[in-house]
Structure 1
Amino acid sequence: MNARGGLGRYGENLAARRLTEAGMAVLARNWRCRHGEIDVVALDGDVLVICEVKARRGGAYEHPMAAVRATKADRLRTLAGHWMARHGGAPPGGVRIDVVGVMVPDRGAPVVEHVRGVA
């Protein structure tokens, strides 16, 4: 595994933990279909949550949340539709797209931010 893959996996582990601590049930991680991948699929009460995880090392790179632009949001909505088609449709509470950003500094604890309903 390369350093980038390791950082991504670490960020996804932290994100899944944060969502679980917030009371959500993680249904799937790294769910793939021919249209792409959803990092984390969770259930928040009766709301299906499609969660994009962005992890960055501290430094000159853009903030992780800035990496989810309109094109990525559109792709996440499309992937949500494919998930629902394969798993029995939309739940009663509908669907929400969240982003978890993870900043990993050179020293100290990572900073994990969870933003709900970004798209």
Structure 2
Amino acid sequence: MSEQLQEREDREQLKPTGQKMGKCILRKDLEARLIAKAWKDESFRQALLSDNPKPAISEVIGTEILEGVEVEVVEESPSKVYLVLPMNPASISSQVSDADLELIAVSMWT
């Protein structure tokens, strides 16, 4: 993987409302905020686990999630854990320009 692709993969950035793309938050930080809120707020947790978690997530990120993006929230248990395999940038890099790949990486949810 090229150094540029690795940097994009490492950033996993999402764009918060009202800010330019240069002021992005890391995806892992956003996920941590969602988890912390779900642990503190049972109604928020239930909204995340519903058939349509997008409104609950939008409340936290401050912007709507793109219409074509599907979101599924699952909850681990003591006997079941989940491993999420992110989209591999190398698998789409040959089909998409560098500029388009950057937009995909930054705006995966928003």
* TM-score, normalisation: structure 2: 0.29
Greater strand fraction, Structure 1 or Structure 2: 1
Q: Which structure would you say has the larger Rg?
A: 2
Which structure has greater helix proportion? 2
Using structure 1 for the length normalisation, give the TM-score. Answer: 0.28
Compare relative contact order (CA 8 Å, sep 6+) and give the higher one, 1 or 2.
Answer: 2
